[in-house]
Amino acid sequence: MIASFSRTPAARLGRLLLTLSALLIAPTLLLAQTADDLPPVTRTYALENARIVQAPGRVIERGTVVVHDGLIVAVGTDVEIPFDAERIAADSLVVYAGFLDGLSHAGIPKPKEENNQQRPDDPGNPPDDYAGIQPQRDARTLLKPDDKSVADLRAAGFGAALTVPHGRMLPGSGALILLTGDDPDAMVLRGDVALFAQFEGARGVYPATPMGVMAKMRQLYREAERRHLIQQRYDADPTGLERPPYDDVHYAFFPVLEGKKPILFYTDEALETYRALRLQRDLGFPLVLAGLKQSFDQIDALKAAGVPLFFTLDLPKEPKKEAKAKQDSVEAAMAAQYDPTLRTATYRDLEAERRNLEARRQESRARYLKNAAMLHEAGLRFGFSTMDVKPADIHKNLRLMIEHGLPEDAALAALTTDAAALLGVSAMLGTVEPGKIANLVVTTKPYFDKDAKIKYVFVDGVKYEYDTKAKPKKSGEAANPAGTWSYTISSPMGEFDGTLTLEGTPGNLRGTLSSSQNPGALELRDVTLDGNELSFSFEAPGMPGTLTVVAVITGDAMEGTITVPGMGDAPFSATRTGGPDGRARP
Which residue range(s) make up the domain with 162? Answer: 130-311
Separation between Cα atoms, residue 175 and residue 194, nearest integer Å: 7
260-268 mean pLDDT: 97
- Enter the pTM of the model: 0.75
Q: Could you tell me if 146 and 265 lie in one domain?
A: yes
Query: pLDDT category, 436, cuts 50, 70, 90?
Result: very high
Task: Check which CATH number belongs to the domain holding 278 and give it.
Answer: 3.20.20.140
User: Is 391 within a domain?
Assistant: no
With contact defined as beta carbons under 8 Å apart, do 181 and 460 qualify? yes
User: Is 433 within a domain?
Assistant: no
pLDDT of residue 460: 97
User: Is 49 within a domain?
Assistant: no
Strand extents, DSSP E, 57-146? 58-68, 71-76, 86-89, 94-97, 99-104
Q: Could you tell me if 352 and 296 lie in one domain?
A: no
- Residue 468: pLDDT over 90: no
With contact defined as beta carbons under 8 Å apart, do 33 and 15 qualify? no
Q: Could you tell me if 28 and 168 lie in one domain?
A: no
Three state DSSP letters for 59-84: EEEEEEEEEECCEEEEEECCCCCCCC
User: Is 410 within a domain?
Assistant: no
- Out of 265, 291, 311, a domain closes at 311
Q: Could you tell me if 148 and 297 lie in one domain?
A: yes
User: Is 53 within a domain?
Assistant: no
pLDDT of residue 538: 86
Q: Could you tell me if 481 and 518 lie in one domain?
A: yes
Q: Could you tell me if 288 and 324 lie in one domain?
A: no
Q: Could you tell me if 260 and 366 lie in one domain?
A: no
Give the chain's domain count: 3
**Number of alpha carbons in the 13 Å side-chain half-sphere of residue 544:** 21
Sign (positive/negative) of CA torsion 180, 186, 188, 189?
negative
User: Is 43 within a domain?
Assistant: no
- Out of 289, 311, 333, a domain closes at 311
With contact defined as beta carbons under 8 Å apart, do 476 and 491 qualify? no
Please indicate whether residue 560 or residue 34 has the higher confidence score (pLDDT): 560
Give the type of residue at 519: P
User: Is 528 within a domain?
Assistant: yes
pLDDT in tens, 144-196: 999 999 999 999 999 999 999 999 999 999 999 999 999 999 999 999 999 99
- Phi/psi of residue 148, nearest 5 degrees: -55, -30
Separation between Cα atoms, residue 275 and residue 295, nearest integer Å: 13
**Number of alpha carbons in the 13 Å side-chain half-sphere of residue 538:** 19
What Rg value do the Cα atoms of the chain yield, rounded? 27
pLDDT of residue 402: 97
Q: Could you tell me if 272 and 334 lie in one domain?
A: no
Which residues make Cβ contacts (< 8 Å) with residue 90, sequence separation at least 6? 47, 48, 49, 50, 442
Query: pLDDT category, 5, cuts 50, 70, 90?
Result: very low
Task: Check which CATH number belongs to the domain holding 565 and give it.
Answer: 2.40.128.120
pLDDT in tens, 198-250: 999 998 899 999 999 999 999 999 999 999 999 999 999 999 999 999 999 99
- Out of 311, 335, 361, a domain closes at 311
Neighbours of 395 (CB within 10 A): 20
Q: Could you tell me if 226 and 344 lie in one domain?
A: no
Q: Could you tell me if 162 and 17 lie in one domain?
A: no
With contact defined as beta carbons under 8 Å apart, do 554 and 576 qualify? no
Q: Could you tell me if 137 and 282 lie in one domain?
A: yes
User: Is 117 within a domain?
Assistant: no
100-110 mean pLDDT: 96
Terminal Cα-to-Cα distance of the chain (whole angstroms): 50
**Number of alpha carbons in the 13 Å side-chain half-sphere of residue 225:** 9
Q: Could you tell me if 480 and 350 lie in one domain?
A: no
